[in-house]
Amino acid sequence: MVYPDIAGLEKIARFIRSVILTATTNAGSGHPTSSLSAVELMTALLFGGMFRYDADRPDHPNNDRLIFSKGHASPLFYGLWAAAGKIDEEEMMTYRRFGSRLEGHPTVAFPYAEAATGSLGQGLAIGVGMALNARLDRLPYRTYVLIGDSEMTEGSQWEAIQLAAYYRLDNLTGIIDVNRLGQRGETMYGHDLDAYRARVAAFGWHTIVIDGHDYRQISDAYREAQETEGLPTMIIARTFKGRGVSLVENREGWHGKPLPREELDKALGELGEVDRSVRGSIRKPDDLEPHRPAAAGISEPRYQPGEQVATRTAYGRALRRIAPGFPALVSLDAEVSNSTMAELFKDACPERFFEMYVAEQNMAGAAIGFARRGKIPFVSTFAAFMSRAYDQIRMSRYSDANIKFVGSHAGVSIGEDGPSQMGLEDIAFFRTLLDGVVLYPADAVSTEKLVEEAARHRGAVYIRTTRGATPVIYGSGEAFPIGGCKVLHRSDADVITLVGAGITLHEVLAARQMLAADNIAARIIDLYSIKPIDSATLRQAARETGLLLTVEDHVAEGGLGEAVRSALWDTGARVAGLAVGKIPGSGKPRELLEFEEISSNAVVRLARKLLGKE
């Protein structure tokens, strides 16, 4: 067996340990002990000839990927790139300062970070996405994920472990840094490595148990992982938190605490002679072109006015229709593709469809991995179940991940399935995403056009779709730009503006006709883009009609009505709202719309009251 230059690796490791200690002490915060435990594991990976990476081209498609799921070990992560010559010591001293790219937990502000991490339990799912992407691109790169032992209690880890085994991702390697100590004491299994091995192996992974401070064992493990076919590999490494510094090594009470300045020199002295000019060499990758089919033309959607089509069906048709024009588009679905109608895309483009089963956290995490490798993931499930992946979706924004989320079966209008299946809070959730887009189409044409707009848009988009069929009200030539709305009826006699979206647009259209019978003229706005919102059109309506009434199949908090009020906050406009306000149950869609008082009848009653026409 030929081993790497172990003396050289030890020299690099001493430099990295010194960087970890000095940077955290200088910052006055950070996680040096969590970083020190994995120094040998990561030094051997990057500088021992196993890892292939062009450090001058972090965006090179052939680069191996390294994800620090235990993002609090960022001092180690940055120390590795300092040893690679990509961070100088002056910049290392900016660690955790405002404006520095060396943040407390890695984000993509640092070009060598594959994704934002630090919310524990997410890195392996991101790795699943990147490993699947390698297959799709037909590239030989491998993905490595450094995992903390504490985060192995996260359910999201086991979702990812199951999916990686199912897809037989032999290009994915996890490394569990079993350093025994968590934030407040010993972890669930401490140093019982066989407990980890048995559990991970039971899910179908190849497992390797090693001493995480022994370069020979580490090198053998990486080599074995590379030679293993048909299974992902988990390296389970016994390590010691705070390794190399007697004050903190294997001692409780030092998590997230830097060494005091008065202890730093002593700790550095324990490391032995540190060559501050030492730099490690990383093996270059192959220079292969990813498999990327050329884009083709896209046809226009074809529907007849009045045709009854569920917007969820139009979503599936839209994915299938635009697929030739967006070869980077992939679809991930949580075992409900025959309800979200993503199955239409699956049938047309099976190699670009990924079944994530009922594992929404892993689905969102894998989507981050795909997006960071240049794909456009459309992620679909019931709107209610998006909440299971709230943290992954939130974190996707800090990874600048270009993901489109599509929630079907929204609102009480889904009917008999009852409240567990009704997405009633999803608009509020997605409105909180920084720079995010929230779209709620009302018919098949607007759905198809908005799916295409979402695919062209760079950033996070949420599209809300409806279970039941609704009539087509728009012609195929209509445009639906993000940030716009549609004024469907307008006259100089309008005394109220009715604002709906999705299913409630059809309720306000019906209400308009009922009000017209009483000689009450109502303006109708289809607020299909809830974020960003068309403030100018809303303000004009407020000036010209004096009263707005919003209607939504969503709770009042954070929904369409609050979005309208926020847009009009400084106008003094009268804005009233109807929203879901009672605990719903099973029933016919019409019964539930009436029960929640968001039906056309409820709109007419409140409009008359507001206008003094009772």
* Full DSSP string of 495-548: -EEEEE-THHHHHHHHHHHHHHTTT--EEEEE--EEES--HHHHHHHHHHHSEE
What integer is the mean pLDDT of 223-249?
97
Summarize pLDDT for 98-157 with one digit per residue, the tens. 999 999 999 999 999 999 999 999 999 999 999 999 999 999 999 999 999 999 999 999
pLDDT in tens, 317-353: 999 999 999 999 999 999 999 999 999 999 999 999 9
Mean pLDDT across 292-304: 93
DSSP codes, 124-185? HHHHHHHHHHHHHHT----EEEEEESGGGG-HHHHHHHHHHHHTT-TTEEEEEEE-SB-SSS
Q: Which two tokens stand for residue 525?
A: 């706005």
Angle at 265 between CA 261 and CA 266, to 5 degrees: 110
Which pLDDT score, from 0 to 100, does residue 613 have?
86
Same fold, 308-471 and 486-610: yes
Considering only the top CATH level, what class is 6-270?
alpha beta
Give the separation between CA 65 and CA 281, rounded to whole angstroms: 16
Q: What percentage of residues in the chain have a pLDDT greater than 70? A: 100
Quick check: is 114 catalytic?
no
Residue at 32: amino acid letter: P
Q: How far is CA 469 from CA 253, 321, 591, in A?
A: 59, 20, 16
Whether 2 shows a pLDDT value over 70: the answer reads no
Asked if residue 333 lies in contact with residue 97, where contact means CB atoms within 8 angstroms, the answer is no
What is the domain partition of the chain in residue ranges? 6-270, 308-471, 486-610
pLDDT tens sequence across 492-526: 999 999 999 999 999 999 999 999 999 999 999 99
CATH of domain 486-610: 3.40.50.920
CA pair distance 364, 278, nearest whole angstrom: 40
Closest CA to 510 of 602, 596, 410, 574: 602
SS3 call for 334: coil
CA distance 395 to 384: 19
Of 360, 425, 507, 596, the catalytic one is 360
For the domain covering 308-471, report its CATH number.
Answer: 3.40.50.970
Give the model's pLDDT for residue 54.
Answer: 98
- Ranges of H-type helices in 252-305: 261-270
- Residue-averaged pLDDT of the chain: 97
Q: Is the model's pLDDT at 364 over the cut of 80?
A: yes
Residues 6+ apart with CB under 8 A from 609: none
The predicted pLDDT at position 4 comes to 83
- Among 135, 128, 202, CA closest to 160: 128
What is the average pLDDT across 72-96? Answer: 97
pTM exceeds cut of 0.85: yes
265-287 residue pLDDT tens: 999 999 999 999 999 999 999 99
* Structural contact between residues 175 and 144, judged by C-beta atoms closer than 8 angstroms: yes
What pLDDT was estimated at residue 1? Answer: 56
